[in-house]
A = this chain, B = another copy of it.
Amino acid sequence: MRVLVTGGAGCIGSELAAALAGRGDDVTIFDNFSSGRREHVAGLPCTVVEGDVLDPGALNRAAAGVDFIWHLAANPDVRFSPGRDLDQNVVATHHVLETARLCGVRGFALASTSAVYGICGDVPIPETHPPRPISVYGATKLAAEALVSAYAHLFGMRAWIFRLANIVGPKTRRHGRTVISDFIAKLRENPARLEILGDGRQAKSYLSGSECVEAMLFAVEHARESLNVFNVGGPDSLTVLRIAEMVVQAMGLRNVEFVYTGGEGGWPGDVPRFTLDAGALARLGWRARRTSEQSVRDAIDATLERLR
């Protein structure tokens, strides 16, 4: 199987590329290294192409002869920036889908986000929940999903859409820092005081990058509808305050003063509380083995280990 992984130098993309190569696929990683990192792909038995998903020519060259595209390239930064998300999430996905159509690619997987749902409350959200995004990030990911849905139907591509919870691990991104690396960086700068975005009571679902990749590969193997949509996340949620306590403890710190920026969400467009109902994956036979707290704990330990 010849596969192309856009965003293959990212945290999830590089883990996916390694797994695909490990099972014998012929893997091409396509990344512009704006947020992906060269050290993530160094040593992987993959072809690495430096290119931008906004460049159709480069995409078409990289996708020649490919059977399956994993489209993970996206803007990872959730902050509002007019136009950027539209280009990097929607126009880019359109280009990748056009490449898939022109190259006769038979399978297409999209890394989307649980942010497509918007405000959800405390009830676990199933895949059938109507999406009402509250951030441009979530909106442009839903737009990308919509294009995948249409192309899958129109051009006989089989497609998988993965609505990812917060995916955590030892790797860090160039942009769009996650809560764990944010807390560690701040506490290394000032071990006496930690600024927490929002009121700390935000509660979200977390999953390790390795379990995320496992879930996606399992779903592509076992779900064979024309369009397959999956929530991918831990089975529960974890508060930001608890993550702060875990980071403090793992760093061996004491008497850290927590200072809150206030507000229900951490930033405009942040979904303050959500738990994913990963029922579609469970019905196929896959369940996350670790709780959100276990995944976050492993990621904290691995990140600190890497920094030593």
Using a CB–CB distance below 8 Å, which chain A residues touch chain B?
Answer: 80, 82-83, 86, 90-91, 94, 98, 116, 118, 127-136, 138-140, 142-143, 146-147, 149-151, 153-154, 227, 229, 268-269
Q: Which residue of B lies closest to A152 (CB)?
A: B134
A150 in contact with B135 (CB, 8 Å):
yes
Given A118-B149, A134-B150, A150-B133, CB of A143 within 8 Å of CB of B90: yes
Question: Which listed residue, B90, B132, B140, B268, touches A154 by the CB 8 Å rule?
Answer: B268
Question: Which listed residue, B90, B132, B142, B227, touches A86 by the CB 8 Å rule?
Answer: B90
- 7 further A-B contacts with Cβ under 8 Å, apart from A136-B154, A142-B142, A143-B143, are A80-B154, A91-B91, A129-B130, A134-B153, A134-B154, A136-B147, A139-B146
Residues of chain B lying within 8 A (CB to CB) of residue A127 = 130
Docked complex Cα distance between A135 and B153 (Å): 8
Docked complex Cα distance between A28 and B185 (Å): 52
What 6 pairs across the A-B complex have the smallest Cβ distances? A143-B143, A139-B146, A134-B153, A139-B150, A142-B146, A128-B130
A149 in contact with B130 (CB, 8 Å):
no
Residues of chain B lying within 8 A (CB to CB) of residue A136 = 147, 150-151, 154
Q: How far is the CB of A227 from chain B (nearest CB, A)?
A: 6
Residues of chain B lying within 8 A (CB to CB) of residue A146 = 116, 131, 133, 138-140, 142-143, 146
Residues of chain B lying within 8 A (CB to CB) of residue A83 = 94
Q: How far is the CB of A10 from chain B (nearest CB, A)?
A: 23
Q: Which residue of B lies closest to A132 (CB)?
A: B149
Q: How far is the CB of A97 from chain B (nearest CB, A)?
A: 9
Docked complex Cα distance between A130 and B131 (Å): 8
Q: Which residue of B lies closest to A94 (CB)?
A: B86
B82 in contact with A118 (CB, 8 Å):
no
Q: How far is the CB of A91 from chain B (nearest CB, A)?
A: 7
A153 in contact with B118 (CB, 8 Å):
yes
Q: Which residue of B lies closest to A135 (CB)?
A: B150
A269 in contact with B138 (CB, 8 Å):
no
Docked complex Cα distance between A269 and B154 (Å): 6
User: Which of A127, A134, A143 is most buried by chain B, counting CB atoms within 10 A of its CB?
Assistant: A143
- A/B interface sample: 21 pairs, CB < 8 A: A82-B94, A83-B94, A86-B94, A90-B143, A118-B153, A128-B130, A130-B131, A133-B146, A135-B150, A136-B147, A136-B150, A136-B151, A138-B146, A138-B150, A139-B143, A139-B146, A140-B143, A140-B147, A142-B143, A153-B269, A154-B268
Docked complex Cα distance between A154 and B82 (Å): 12
Residues of chain B lying within 8 A (CB to CB) of residue A98 = 82
Q: How far is the CB of A266 from chain B (nearest CB, A)?
A: 14
